[in-house]
Structure 1
Amino acid sequence: MAKDNKKQQNKTNPILWFFFAIVIPFIVAITLTVIIFTVAGVDVVGWAKSTGNSIPVISSVITTDKEKNEQREEKKTKDIIASKDEKIAQLNQKVSNLESTVGQLEQEIVKLENRNANEEKIKSETADEAESGNESIKAISSSFNEMDSAQAALIIENMEQDLAVGILKQIPNDVRGGIFEEMEPDLAAELTQLFVTN
């Protein structure tokens, strides 16, 4: 066992010898050189960076002032791009909201156009019905022209007032006067009032 410890000490002694004899003095010599050149006014750090930057493996570890500026500019550019992307996303959201609003308004326009078309159709149908009703009233009123005034007054007294006024409007004035003469005065007055106001 004592021999094993001596062999282990012999193995560690050359490593320690190398460390104390070569590495530590080298570090001390470099430190003294850097201090002396710095006191003399030489930019040792700048020279080390520029020299280290030309060595392929070490250049990836060392960053020069130019590279730091480039990195800052790159970071600023990325920040600007990120803010622009955020604005673009907000604007795209606004566009989609406005497009949905436009879609809703277009649907409302279509509904209103359909409603207007239906109303126009109903108006035209109502106008056609009114016209056909007017034609019926004209046809009937012509038969009242040839009828006896007393008989016409009895028939008109039993009609709805709107229909009676419509027929009386189509009859000539002298025939209308004869029919009013044969009617009861209250009803004749009421129909005359409706005749004038309509």
Structure 2
Amino acid sequence: MANPYREESKQTNKVQWFFFVIFIPALFAIALTWIVLTIAGINVGDWASKHAADVPVISSVFPSDEEKEQEELIGQLRHNLDEKETVIQQLEQEKSELDAKIDDLEHQVGDLEAKLTKAEGTDEEQEAQVKKISSSFREVEPEQAAAIIKNLDQSVAVTVLVNLPANERGAILGEMDPKDAAKLTSLLLTNGN
């Protein structure tokens, strides 16, 4: 009868023999050749990648020069695209900010136009009131008008006098104290009336 232990050890011995006699010396020879060629100035890696491209199975492992160039080009294009997208985002943000400023300025213009319209209406109302008051001074005696105008604010007094005819204005100023009349006359002259 055959001993099973011996058969198993024979199989193990064949595997060990393959590794110790063929595989390990072959790896050692390849490594030694690689080192010698590298010292001699031959770039073994480039040579291997060139010739590996010709071998069908190995060619898929080593990329060709064209594939490397394409990958580099794709990388550059992706980088450029990322930069362009960043610039676009910045420009969109600036546009949003400028749109907000435009809206704010349009709102301010609307407010200012409303104030201007209100002020124009107020000026017209004030002018109508001044004319009304001035016309009431036409019916008052010059002595009484002079006493009233003397007690008014100077700007109001000048405005009232401007709206009176020249002869009535002269009569009222004639009834005033000369110093007060001189002040009002100089104010009338500086206002261009």
TM over 0.5: yes
Please state how far the C-alpha of 1:166 moved relative to its aligned partner.
0.8
> What's the CA shift for 1:4?
4.3
Q: Does 1:174 align with 2:167?
A: yes
1:196 Cα deviation from its structure 2 partner: 1.8
Q: Which runs of 5+ in 2 are unaligned?
A: 23-51
Q: Secondary structure at the match of 1:83?
A: helix
Q: How many residues align?
A: 157
Q: Identify the residue that residue 183 of structure 1 maps to in structure 2.
A: 176
Partner residue of 1:77?
Answer: 70
Q: Which residue of 1 aligns with 2:59?
A: 63
Where does the alignment leave 5 or more consecutive residues of structure 1 unmatched?
Answer: 25-48, 54-58
Give me the whole-angstrom Cα distance separating, in 1, the residues matched to 2:8 and 2:117.
121
The separation in 1 between residues aligned to 2:109 and 2:76, in whole angstroms, is 49
Partner of 2:111: 118
Q: Please tell me the root mean square deviation across aligned C-alpha atoms, in Å.
A: 3.2
Deviations 1:89-112 (A, max 9, x none): 111111111111111111111111
Q: Residue 166 and residue 10 in structure 1: after superposition, are their counterparts in 2 closer, same or farther (change >3 A)?
A: closer
Q: 1:128 aligns with which of 111, 114, 121?
A: 121
User: Which amino acid is 2:167 matched to?
Assistant: D
Alpha-carbon spacing, 1:63–1:188, altered in 2? closer, same or farther (3 Å):
same
Q: What CA distance in whole angstroms lies between the structure 1 residues aligned with 2:7 and 2:136?
A: 148
2:103 partner amino acid: V
Using the alignment, how far apart are the partners of 2:115 and 2:7 within structure 1? 117
Runs of 4+, deviation exceeding 2 Å: 7-13
Match of 2:82 among 82, 89, 103: 89
- Residue 109 of structure 1 is matched in structure 2 by 102
Mapped to 2, the partners of 1:165 and 1:11 lie a distance apart of 133
Q: Secondary structure at the match of 1:87?
A: helix
Match of 1:163 in 2: 156
In the superposition, relative to structure 1, how do residues 179 and 74 fare at CA in structure 2: closer, same or farther (>3 Å)?
same
TM-score (norm 2): 0.70
Distance apart, 1:163 and its partner CA:
1.1
TM-score, normalised via structure 1 length:
0.68
In structure 2, C-alpha distance between the alignment counterparts of 1:107 and 1:119, rounded to whole Å: 18
Partner of 2:44: none
Write the letter of the residue equivalent to 2:170. G
